[in-house]
Structure 1
Amino acid sequence: MPLTASDFCKIILAILLPPLGVFLERGCSGDLLINIIFTCLGYLPGIIHALYIIFKY
């Protein structure tokens, strides 16, 4: 499945604020909570998780 323009916006938001990128992709779910925890533990793990969620779904 090719990337769309909205995916590029989500990727940029995931780099700037990882939980926002996950929220736009999956909504208010367990993935959002996991990403918030990763972001609090370290900014880089939050980015990696957000990008994983965006590319997975």
Structure 2
Amino acid sequence: MSLLTIILNIFLPPLAVFLKHGLGTTFLISVLLTMLGWLPGVIHAFLVNGSR
């Protein structure tokens, strides 16, 4: 995982997921979790971007 991805995961989780996986269910889940709270969005972004 690059430094840019880590920074985006922290500050803009949906953008980080979009850049890695494009539009899809993973992106929508990231947007929903970020809207519910910043921390769930960040955790989801790290899990999704770190797994592939």
* TM-score, normalising length: structure 1: 0.84
Other structure's SS at 1:36 match: helix
Percent identity between matched residues is 44
CA RMSD of superposed structures (Å): 0.9
Other structure's SS at 1:28 match: coil
Q: 2:3 aligns with which of 4, 8, 14?
A: 8
Structure 1 stretches of 4+ with a deviation exceeding 4 A read none
Distance in 2, Cα, partners of 1:42 & 1:28: 21
Q: Which residue number in structure 1 is paired with residue 34 of structure 2?
A: 39
Distance in 2, Cα, partners of 1:15 & 1:8: 11
Shift in Å at residue 26 of structure 1?
A: 0.5
* TM-score, normalising length: structure 2: 0.91
| Unaligned runs of at least 5 residues, structure 2 | none
Structural mapping, 1:10-25, within 5 Å: 10-25=5-20
